[in-house]
């Protein structure tokens, strides 16, 4: 239990300093890398993988995360295109953009499904479900930190 508390406190401290560094000019890519490292640390601690499981799991997980990141980048490009010229883009082009956005969502779901199948080959069901729960917990922690940071900035 103490290990969890210490890990969480360390995580919060590192995250806070990371957000401060972002404000001081550190690039988004470095921030993303730091968050990914924190996420890996958090997942590692929560899943308690055996050495054999870890050796098989992490390459798969990292591969999936890279593919999901690529989908997010492609989606972001479409949204930027949409909001830069939403009022001047012809209806046919808007339909293409909306179709492409749905296709990217479907691609993401298919990725999740295919990697879920791969995870089942190397991890027990409990650890797979723990992974999904842990990822949600991590997202929640990040959102709370962002909200808190916003409150502190607006409260000043």
Token pair belonging to 4 = 């969890």
Q: How confident is the model at residue 156 (pLDDT cuts 50, 70, 90)?
A: low
Is the pLDDT reported for residue 42 higher than 60? Answer: yes
- This prediction's pTM: 0.73
Which residues lie below 8 Å from residue 35, measured CB to CB, with a gap of 6+?
A: 15, 18, 142
Is the pLDDT reported for residue 21 higher than 50? Answer: no
**Pairwise CA distance, residues 71 & 34, whole Å:** 20
Q: Which residue has the tokens 């479900």?
A: 129
Which structural domain, as residue segments, surrounds residue 76?
50-122
Q: Are 55 and 102 part of one and the same domain?
A: yes
**Pairwise CA distance, residues 100 & 121, whole Å:** 32
Cα→Cα distances 72→13, 42, 104, Å: 27, 22, 8
pLDDT of residue 70: 97
Is the pLDDT reported for residue 11 higher than 80? Answer: no
Contact indicator for 123, 53 with CB cutoff of 8 Å: yes
Q: Are 54 and 16 part of one and the same domain?
A: no
Instruction: Provide the domain count of the chain.
Output: 2
Q: Are 153 and 99 part of one and the same domain?
A: no
Q: Are 32 and 82 part of one and the same domain?
A: no
Q: Are 72 and 95 part of one and the same domain?
A: yes
Query: What's the mean pLDDT when you consider all of the chain?
Result: 84
Q: Are 54 and 18 part of one and the same domain?
A: no
Q: Are 115 and 54 part of one and the same domain?
A: yes
Q: Are 111 and 69 part of one and the same domain?
A: yes
Q: Are 55 and 117 part of one and the same domain?
A: yes
pLDDT of residue 128: 97
Q: Are 144 and 154 part of one and the same domain?
A: yes
Q: Are 130 and 143 part of one and the same domain?
A: yes
Q: Are 65 and 77 part of one and the same domain?
A: yes
Contact indicator for 145, 12 with CB cutoff of 8 Å: yes
What is the separation of C-alpha 15 from the centre of its chain, rounded to a whole number of angstroms? 14
């Amino acid at each position: 239990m103490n290990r969890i508390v210490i890990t969480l406190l360390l995580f919060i401290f590192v995250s806070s300093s990371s957000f401060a560094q972002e404000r001081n000019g550190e690039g988004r890519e470095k921030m993303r890398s730091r968050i990914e490292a924190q996420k890996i640390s958090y997942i590692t601690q929560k899943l308690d993988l055996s050495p054999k499981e870890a050796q098989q799991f992490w390459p798969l997980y990292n591969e999936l995360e890279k593919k999901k990141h690529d989908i997010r980048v492609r989606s972001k490009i479409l949204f930027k295109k949409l909001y830069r010229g939403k009022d001047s883009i012809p209806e046919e082009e808007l339909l293409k953009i909306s179709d492409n956005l749905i296709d990217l969502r479907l691609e993401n779901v298919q990725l999740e499904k295919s990697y879920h199948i791969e995870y089942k080959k190397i991890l027990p069901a409990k650890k797979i479900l723990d992974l999904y729960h842990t990822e949600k917990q991590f997202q929640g922690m990040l959102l709370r930190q962002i909200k808190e940071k916003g409150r502190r900035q607006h409260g000043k």
